[in-house]
Copies of this chain bind each other. A is one copy, B any other.
């Protein structure tokens, strides 16, 4: 399978390293031989139709800051979109940084790939939050597959679970903790009695929160994930504008303590029923959803069966790379199904 890798930051490098390390196993277990034929970053593109050496890509990136600096295969200044038009890659793996205002440059990459009949796997939430209904239609129109397991839950296969394991049922409601950073902050407020800004500083120090924490603490990261779940799992045609979003910045320590005294914990809950909402809410401590620290948890309510809760770690470079690999195997299996007894 020939891969175009757009974005070569933490996730992109981790994905390339895993593909390299696990090639033999992937061939043996799944008949999948991934070959990275092009990589793009801010400096340009490196491309070789025969397949690039991952070790060399990582070295050039570390030494020169861009894969485009490779002497033999580098094309400085060439954009990913240009290179995509010409590439014979079958799959685009899109892992450029998330921008929820414009969706760029990911949105452009994804649309170019789909129009050129390339399958797309992305871990970039921006384009999906803004245009997922349109992108799914574009993929269908061009008879290619669009997958994005890494965008929700990272290491925890939340989307796959709902789609594959509850397949004879219909999800009618979802409630979840979809952001590890805010859950870490709220856990510290609950267990240590510290206020929001102290807990936020601790999260930043531990590497769980960014210097600008607004995507997380204002609820937009949770909201983008909720949009993706709504479209993919519940066939709703919604974007970020359809979500009512309240973050945790204004939570008073007294609210947190009051909840605790009633056997509850304050959590940033993302939910879908008749509408899409992200807001802080008390959750009973005996509820399986009530997980601590940077864990994510989602409860699905099916029409026929009983509620199911899935708990696991949120995003992380390796986890997200793993999710992309899962999508790649799934595309391979959808294209060339094998009968397994």
Q: Which of A27-55 contact B (CB under 8 A)?
A: 30
- Interchain CB contact under 8 A, A306 and B311: no
Complexed CA–CA distance, A165 and B166 (Å): 12
A198 to chain B, nearest CB (A): 21
Whether B164 and A160, one on each chain, are in contact in the complex, defined by CB atoms closer than 8 angstroms, is yes
Question: Closest B-chain residue to A324, C-beta based?
Answer: B168
Instruction: Give the docked Cα–Cα distance between A18 and B169 (Å).
Output: 12
Report Cα–Cα, A146/B168, bound state, in Å. 18
Tell me, in angstroms, the Cα distance from A140 to B339 when the chains sit together.
Answer: 11
Q: Chain B residues near A166 (CB, 8 Å)? A: 157
Q: Are A157 and B308 in contact, with the CB atoms below 8 A?
A: yes
B residues less than 8 Å from A337 (CB atoms): 337, 339
Within the assembled complex, what's the spacing in Å between the Cα atoms of A189 and B339? 49
Name the interface residues of A292-330: CB closer than 8 Å to any CB of B.
292-293, 295, 297, 304-313, 316, 318-319, 322, 325-326, 329-330
Cβ-based interface call for A211 (8 A): no
A269 within 8 A of B: no
Contacts of A18 in B (CB 8 A): 304
Say whether B326 contacts A334, CB under 8 Å. Answer: no
The distance from the CB of A289 to the nearest CB of chain B, in whole angstroms, is 9
B329 x A334 contact (CB < 8 A):
no
Question: Closest B-chain residue to A328, C-beta based?
Answer: B168
Chain B residues with Cβ under 8 A from A65's Cβ?
none
Q: How far is the CB of A237 from chain B (nearest CB, A)?
A: 16
Residues of B contacting A307 in the complex (Cβ-Cβ under 8 angstroms): 312-313
Question: Cα distance A336–B282 when bound, in Å?
Answer: 47
Residue A145 lies at the interface, judged by CB distance under 8 Å to chain B: yes
Residues of B contacting A316 in the complex (Cβ-Cβ under 8 angstroms): 306
User: What 0/1 readout, one digit per residue, does chain A (155-175) give for beta carbons within 8 Å of chain B?
Assistant: 111001100111111000000
- Hey, what's the 0/1 contact readout for A59-72 against B, CB within 8 Å counting as 1? 00000000000000
Determine how close the nearest CB of chain B comes to the CB of A46; give it in whole angstroms.
Answer: 26
Whether A165 contacts B168 by the Cβ 8 Å rule is: no
Q: How many angstroms between the C-alpha atoms of A286 and B337 in the bound complex?
A: 41
CB distance B305 to A155 under 8 Å?
Answer: yes
Q: How far is the CA of A291 from the CA of B288 in the complex (A)?
A: 6
Q: Which of B160, B304, B341 contacts A165 (CB 8 A)?
A: B160
CA A305 to CA B14, docked complex, whole Å:
13
Answer whether residue A144 sits at the interface, using C-beta atoms and an 8 A cutoff.
yes
A152 partner residues in chain B, CB cutoff 8 A:
none
A309's contact among B169, B312, B319, B339, by CB below 8 Å, is which?
B312
Q: Taking the nearest CB of chain B, how far is it from the CB of A165, in angstroms?
A: 4
Indicate whether A139 reaches chain B with its CB closer than 8 angstroms: yes
- Contact check, A297 vs B288: say whether CB atoms are below 8 A apart: yes
**Known contacts A161-B161, A308-B156, A341 near B286 by CB under 8 Å:** no
Whether the pair B305, A168 counts as a contact (CB closer than 8 A) is: no
For A313, list chain B residues within 8 Å (CB).
306-307
| A262 contacts partner chain B, Cβ-Cβ < 8 Å | no
